Amino acid sequence: EGVGPQEYTLIKMRMLEPYSPKFKVFGKKPIFLVAATLRPETMYGQTNCWVRPDMKYIAFENASGEVFIATERSARNMSYQGFTKVEGEVNVVLQITGQDLLGAALKAPMTHYAKIYALPMLTIKDDKGTGVVTSVPSDSPDDYAALVDLKKKAAFREKYGITDEMVLPFDPVPIIDVPEFGNLSAVTAYDKLKIQSQNDKDKLLEAKEMVYMKGFYDGVMLVGEFKGKKIQDVKKTIQKILLTDNEAVIYYE
Ligand code: A2H
């Protein structure tokens, strides 16, 4: 991409108790899957979290004694950005795979769904962000495609031990109006391009290009404190609210 570092907002998606056996070592400590996003203003529309089943993640302790789950690569970067007790040192407590996270119940900021789940996305890259992605199927074609794959294929859910109630009740939430694309812009683009699955790489790229610029410059919030306001005018403010409420942190790479 461009010159200089990319700024991501890391959304703290809190694991709900009871923790699965692997995570019992943490006792009552708060555990967060930290999801890297470029679109903090879309957090009202989160329906689930994505992890890649075959990818490696670590659980490490941050400087405030919270447990973060992310890729080791990103944790190393975080250790040079003041996230850990000692600069450059990552206190790894567990080595896990995405598989170990599937089906975990989570509490995420701003979304009206009280409890959402960690689900499989097979196209997550291991060299970008934290390897954890928050899902906003109303506004991200990748997220919508992966959610539809799970919804329409019972065998795909079964393969990863995902139950119906982790997927079927969750629908895209109208949160932003994008002129010409309506209030579920990712769904509109997906339908228009007849996208078949999360692996439809070229069409998904096209869908993203169709929607993004327009969403940023002409998109209008439909929900929350900034209802009626343009995205470009509220994006930073919404990010700041998440940071102030300790629901997010800034990360660069
Ligand atoms: B975005 P960029 Cl609503 N692998 O967040 C694949 N995708 C990843 C990733 C990884 N390791 N890490 C982050 N991402 C996703 C929200 C969103 C995002 C919306 C619309 C578009 C969008 C909700 N998902 O991204 O290559 C994350 O999804 C469009 C590209 O650095 C993150 O922001 O530009 C974005 O990709 C970062 O990708």
pLDDT in tens, 108-155: 999 999 999 999 999 999 999 999 999 999 999 999 999 999 999 999
Share of the chain above pLDDT 70, in %: 99
Nearest-CA neighbor of 10 among 45, 53, 39, 52? Answer: 39
Residues with CB under 6 A from ligand 1: 6, 36-39, 42, 124-125, 128-129, 131, 133-136, 139-140, 143, 208
Work out the average pLDDT over 227-244: 97
Nearest-CA neighbor of 68 among 50, 52, 83? Answer: 83
Per-residue buried b or exposed e for 80-108, using 16+ beta carbons within 10 Å of the residue's own CB: eeebbeeeeebbebbebebbbbbbbbbbb
Nearest-CA neighbor of 208 among 148, 111, 140? Answer: 140
Q: Which ligand 1 atom is at minimum distance from the Cα of 36?
A: 13
pLDDT surpassing 70 at residue 1: no
Q: Are 69 and 11 in contact (CB under 8 A)?
A: no
Tell me the whole-structure pTM to 2 decimals.
0.98
Pocket test for ligand 1, best of 8, 9, 33, 39 (most atoms within 8 A of CB): 39
Count of CB atoms within 10 A of residue 160's CB?
16
The pLDDT-based confidence of 4 (bands split at 50, 70, 90) is confident
